[in-house]
A and B are shown apart, each in its own frame.
Chain A
């Protein structure tokens, strides 16, 4: 154990200090304090990443990356003779993906901290906001460095709580409260499956530890070690391992907003925009991807069927969310659906990935896309925050022609749009291209699906771009102005990451078997996806560069489909129908009747009986001593008579 514990300790301390003493601080001081604490954490994370990737600290003897456990406290010891390893520990595990996540989280969180000082300026509850940001950073860092699945679960829930607190930041607004409850309940519902999965898995493997779970058997190159004891146990046509892993994935699907648990994410945009950038775009929502990546060897060797399911759920979700994104008019909603779509991309990449060397391309591509996506999506959200700040509305109709007023936002938003559309040489091009290559090698259907989604992505992002910065200017109530420096500087920093993170040698750093390998841009696929993206951009240009009636005519020609898509395919209504009509109205009403009439009736019967009997017999206790004496004497006489003559 050394300095690395500070990575967790500092954000937690900041949470306690700002949370408990915030009311005594000026808002500015609390913001600066939180940012300063996070700056230290960021520096430590970068230092850790440098040590891990560039010095012998992270190198194992055989040239692979080492998996290092920095410290590991036993928190709850459940071991006995038959299961010596079953204990819940809190520790820190450094391996390529957790180190990469440390960098992603601290970078985005740092930028959000700085940005929020401008964006949240003058808000009531500024200190509370910073306290919860620190809590969130702490929880997310604890999640990615978890040494065992139970620690991950604990921090997973903490992340959920801080997300709830940030969405409901404007708790006087009913819509924010509704959104926060929705997010919490939906993700919590999915987490229930996660917990059940953990319990099944640990029941059979007798361990929570990631290192033990994912240890690959060096003899037989096709199995993980601990699962040999589970072989053959079947339940409902699937092996127990598959069921456990499927349940764990469902937990991840809840946090990562995969279909059908995606409904909470668009509503989560009720929170402050920088918090959305941090939580619902860049870091928390990739927790599900990270979970699958963390358990990837287990999925690959023990439950390849589940991996297929993951790939197809991912493919469907990405298409589904991309179609909806094309029809939304709230700019944050468009970005939210874009996030769902892009995270589904990462899931697809994990789902089609193989293991070892170049076969593990999907895994690398997924993590790479996670990194680049975090950067450009945070840029997009923060730029959207600047725009909302300038025009005081989320709706596209209030925007247009903003390029004249907000140069810096215009450029950074444009860079991020090109990146997410996958245009060379920005980062999105490389990561998306590798995902498509991996999909092409594994499954042609998914490849075509994802390529089409890439085109849709380019279309809806540039629809947003042209609609905000070009188009016809509406009547502004007051002239929009560029955001202050503490808002555009983080934007520029993130744009730099957006531009250059595609050139990082990710395959050297992150691979399934921890051994670096070379990847090459596969030009036919790259050109194909670029052409598709350009078609998307071109379409958006035609439709939205200037005000015209083509979009309306297109919407009218396929009116019913458009209506369905703009209502998000009525998935929310389906949920409401199931919960309100079927669960509350049907099942719960019957249960309530049973409770009220049978259970309560039985209890009432018991009470009534006791009451009546005591009412009838209370005359015995008259309080009259003479009566007692009479009974007593008679009793004695009776007993004596019986004793004498019987």
Chain B
């Protein structure tokens, strides 16, 4: 079974733009965070796919994929902490309600 490379690329492109769309339109902070995860994973797929198809005897793409997952995990941890704090202060997690630093 041999899946052509275009399928992977179409999948990652779709994921990327779904993520971007979600990032722009979601009002919920958790939703925005999830959208960012989608974008990161789309990039991850690209890393892995290009490594697999273009340089099968090298490992940098996989390593980068892992690296991105680690950073994303850390980032999620921080973001969740921030969101919890926002919730404690605002009693909601709507992105438009965070206006304390404005003006």
Residue numbers of A with Cβ under 8 A of B are 623-626, 629-630, 633
Nearest-CB distance from B22 to chain A (Å)? 10
A625 to B94, CA, bound (A): 13
Q: Which residue of A lies closest to B27 (CB)?
A: A626
A630–B101 CB distance below 8 A: no
Name the A residues within 8 Å of B96 (CB-CB).
624
Q: Which of B24, B99, B102 contacts A630 (CB 8 A)?
A: B24
Indicate if the CB atoms of A623 and B23 lie closer than 8 Å. Answer: no
Contacts of B69 in A (CB 8 A): none
- Is B95 located at the chain interface by the 8 A CB criterion? yes
User: Within 8 Å CB of B86, what residues of A?
Assistant: none
**B17 CB → nearest A CB, Å:** 9
Residues of A within 8 A of B32 (CB): 626
B20 interface residue per 8 A CB criterion: yes
Residues of B within 8 A of A (CB): 20, 23-25, 32, 95-96, 99, 101-102
> A626 touching B102 by the CB < 8 A rule?
no
Instruction: Name the residue in A624, A625, A626, A630 with the highest tally of chain B Cβ atoms < 10 Å from its Cβ.
Output: A626
Chain B residues, CB < 8 A from A625: 95
- Of B24, B25, B95, B99, which is within 8 A of A633 by CB? B24
Bound complex: CA of A624 vs CA of B95, how far in Å? Answer: 8
Contact B24 A629 (CB under 8 A): yes
Is B102's CB under 8 angstroms from A623's CB?
yes
Question: In the complex, A624→B101 CA distance in Å?
Answer: 11
Chain B residues near A626: list those with CB within 8 A.
23-25, 32, 95
Known: A626-B95, A629-B23. 15 other contacts (CB 8 A): A623-B99, A623-B101, A623-B102, A624-B95, A624-B96, A625-B95, A626-B23, A626-B24, A626-B25, A626-B32, A629-B20, A629-B24, A630-B24, A633-B20, A633-B24
Q: Closest Cβ of chain B: how far from A331's Cβ, in Å?
A: 75
Complex Cα distance A181/B36, Å? Answer: 77
Task: Select from chain A the residue with minimum beta-carbon distance to B101.
Answer: A623
Question: Mind listing 17 A-B residue pairs with CB under 8 Å?
Answer: A623-B99, A623-B101, A623-B102, A624-B95, A624-B96, A625-B95, A626-B23, A626-B24, A626-B25, A626-B32, A626-B95, A629-B20, A629-B23, A629-B24, A630-B24, A633-B20, A633-B24
Residue on B with the closest CB to A628? B24
Complex Cα gap A626–B20 (Å): 10
CB distance from B45 to the nearest CB of A (A): 19
B contact residues around A629 at 8 Å (CB): 20, 23-24
Q: How far is the CB of B82 from chain A (nearest CB, A)?
A: 13
9 shortest A-B CB distances, which residue pairs?
A: A623-B102, A626-B24, A630-B24, A629-B24, A629-B23, A633-B20, A626-B95, A626-B23, A625-B95
Tell me the complex Cα distance, A623–B97, Å.
12
C-alpha spacing A517/B24, complex, angstroms = 108
Residues of A with C-beta under 8 A to B25:
626
- Hey, which chain A residues are within 8 Å of B99, CB to CB? 623
Cα A623 to Cα B101 with chains together (Å): 9
Q: In the assembled complex, how far is the CB of residue B30 from the closest CB belonging to chain A, in whole angstroms?
A: 14
Residue of B nearest to A622 (CB): B102
Separation in Å of the B98 CB from the closest CB of chain A? 9
What is the CB-to-nearest-CB distance from B18 to chain A, in angstroms, rounded to a whole number? Answer: 13
Distance, CA A606 to CA B24, complexed state (A): 38
CB contacts (< 8 Å) of B101 on chain A: these are: 623
Residues of A within 8 A of B23 (CB): 626, 629
Residues of B near A624 (CB, < 8 A) are 95-96
Question: How distant is the Cα of A630 from the Cα of B25 in the complex, in angstroms?
Answer: 9
Shortest Cβ distance from residue A616 to the other chain B in the assembled complex, whole angstroms? 17
Shortest C-beta distance, A626 to chain B (Å), equals 5
Q: Quick one: closest A residue to B99, CB to CB?
A: A623
Chain A residue nearest to B21 in the complex (CB)? A633
When distances are taken between beta carbons in the complex, the residues of chain B under 8 Å from A630 are: 24
Q: Complex Cα distance A559/B98, Å?
A: 92
Q: How far is the CA of A94 from the CA of B14 in the complex (A)?
A: 101
- Distance in Å: Cβ of A376 to nearest Cβ of chain B: 81
Chain A CB within 10 Å, residue with most, of B24, B101, B102 = B24
C-alpha gap A38/B101 in the complex (Å): 72
A629 to B99, CA, bound (A): 18
- In Å, the complex CA distance between A629 and B101 comes to 19
Give the docked Cα–Cα distance between A524 and B95 (Å): 114
Find chain A residues with CB under 8 A from B95 CB. 624-626
Task: Give chain B nearest CB distance to A638 CB in angstroms.
Answer: 15
CA distance in complex: A633, B39 (Å): 13
CB proximity of A635 to chain B, nearest CB, Å: 13
CB distance from A337 to the nearest CB of B (A): 73
Give the complex CA separation of A369 and B95 in angstroms: 96
Q: A471 vs B95: C-alpha distance in the bound complex, in angstroms? A: 104
Q: A416–B25 Cα gap in the complex (Å)? A: 106
Q: Could you tell me the distance in whole angstroms from the C-beta of B37 to the nearest C-beta in chain A?
A: 15
CB distance from A624 to the nearest CB of B (A): 7
A627 to chain B, nearest CB (A): 8
